[in-house]
Amino acid sequence: MFDSTAARQIRRSVLAATSTLALVMGASVAFAQQPAAPAKPAPARPAAPKAAPKQAPTAQAPAAQQPAQNEQQQQQQQVQLVFSPWTKFCNKAPDPNAKQVCFTARDARTEAGIPAVAAALIEPEGEPKKILRVTLPSPVMLQYGSRIVIDQNPPLASAFFTCFANGCMADYEGTPDLIQKLKTGQGMQVMAVNINGQQFGFTVPLADFKKANEGPPTDPKVFEEQQKKLQEDLQKKADELRKKLESQGQAQQAPGTPPR
C-alpha cells in the first residue's frame, strides 16, 4: 500500500539534492577565511562509537580488497545519476579581510533527487595550498575515511572532517600532480565504507573539468537559473514517481479488480 510518508520523503529529497552543491560552496568560502582549519580537524575522534570495534573486522575486508570490490561496487551502483556540469565559481566572504576563493565543482544525485556524490577543487586567492573536497552520503564508518582513485592511478585516502544531514566531507591536498590528473583523467572514483562494513562509491566523470577550471567563473545568476531548472526537472521526476507509487497502492487496495 502506498504510504503518504513516501511522498513527503520524495519532496524532501528534491530539496536536499539542490542543497548539496550549495553546502560545498559555503564550506569553500569558510576555507578561504580559515585556510588551515580543514587539515586540523581530520582526526576522527567522534568516529569511535561503541559499536565500531565489533564492525571493524567486517569493514576491513572491503577496504583491503578494493580492486576486487570495484566491479561488484559498480554493479551495485547501477542507479541512474543526474550530474551537474563542472562549474567554476569565485566568491568572497563579507569579511573585508577575507580572500577570494574560487572552486570548480560538480555534484550528482539519483533520479529521485537523493544526493549521491559531490567534488570541488577549492583554490583560495594568493594561497599555494589547494584542496580537493569530496562529499559522500552518510552515514559512514568515519574511522575508515574516504578513498579516491583517478583512472588507474594508485588510490589516495583521507579522513572525513565533518558530517551533515546529507553527507560527510573529506579533504585531499590539491597538489600539482593531483590537479593534473583531474585535468587529464577520465573518471574519479569516490569511496567509503558504510555502517554495515560494505565499501560503496560513485564515479565522477572528469570530462570538461579542465575547461571549467581554466575558464572564467560562472555568473551566479546563470547558476541560479541552472539550479532552478534542475530543481524543476527533479520535482517533475519526483511527482511522476509519487504518482506511480500511488497507482501501485490503489491496485493493491483492489485485489478483486482485474488489471488493465
The pLDDT tens digits of the residues spanning 52-70 come to 333 333 334 344 344 434 4
Instruction: List the alpha helices (DSSP H) in the chain.
Output: 4-33, 52-64, 66-76, 176-184, 209-214, 220-253
Contacts of 253 (CB under 8 A, 6+ apart): 1
Question: Could you give the 3-state DSSP secondary structure of residue 51?
Answer: coil
Q: What is the predicted pLDDT for the residue at 155?
A: 97
Q: Which domains does the chain have, with CATH numbers?
A: 4-250 (2.60.40.1880)
Q: Which 8-state DSSP code applies to residue 84? A: P
Give pLDDT tens digits for 173-214: 999 999 999 999 999 999 999 999 999 999 999 999 999 999
Distance CA 47, CA 184 (A): 35
Give pLDDT tens digits for 212-257: 999 999 887 777 777 777 777 777 777 777 788 788 777 776 655 5
φ, ψ of residue 123 to 5 degrees: the values are -130, 95
Q: Which 8-state DSSP code applies to residue 144? A: G
Distance CA 102, CA 32 (A): 9
Distance CA 156, CA 147 (A): 5
What CA–CA distances, in Å, run from 135 to 3, 160, 164, 169, 248?
30, 9, 10, 4, 34
Q: What is the predicted pLDDT for the residue at 24?
A: 52
Give pLDDT tens digits for 93-144: 777 788 889 999 999 988 778 899 999 999 998 888 999 999 999 999 999 9
Q: Between 200 and 37, where is the model more confident?
A: 200
| pTM for this model (two decimals) | 0.65
